[in-house]
Structure 1
Amino acid sequence: MINLQVRSGNGSIEARAKHGVVWGPELAGLDQSAFPMLGHLLPYADTVFNHQQVATLLEEVPRLPAGVLTDQFTRELIELGQTVLDGQHLYLWFLGD
């Protein structure tokens, strides 16, 4: 399971998703050239995106093939990504198991 959080530059958790996403073949099989942000997630490690990377990440979401992310996780990803874009010194963390 991969969970999602927004953290400040000092590491404090500012927001978190209520739903995670299960690591499966759809997510693991994303073409990294077409999905440079989501294609680099790891199932058992944390991945952190800064403000500019989150902007690119949010451009990828509407192009994802069906079934890669659940609707609930997608909504929360967009919401938390926007939180990062609207704030200062915030990072989007994907937390692998």
Structure 2
Amino acid sequence: MLTDKAYEADRIRELIQEQGATPNIPPKSNRRWKPCFSKRLYRERDLIERFFSKLKHFLRIATRYDKLAVNFLAMVQLASIRLWLRGYESTA
């Protein structure tokens, strides 16, 4: 489970481990014992956050006009495809 420093507490780490996941939370600078932390995984979290930020620029998704979950998922998929294709557009 990838989270930011705001969720860096022993009780939250224990809860995540009880549910069968491995916490990857950056330790705070004032913490004496520094638990395991993967910087590579944490950088990948940033990519996911950026994707959701771009996805929210589509008004229909941000305001959730669609009543049915199936229709909403279809719009998320279309917006995701459009974002993915935007990366392959020709600049010339």
The verdict on a shared fold, with TM-score over 0.5 as the criterion, is: no
Larger proportion of helix: 2
Larger proportion of strand: 1
Structure possessing the higher relative contact order (Cα contacts under 8 Å, 6 or more residues apart) = 1
Q: TM-score, normalised by structure 2?
A: 0.29
Asked which structure has the greater CA Rg, the reply is 2
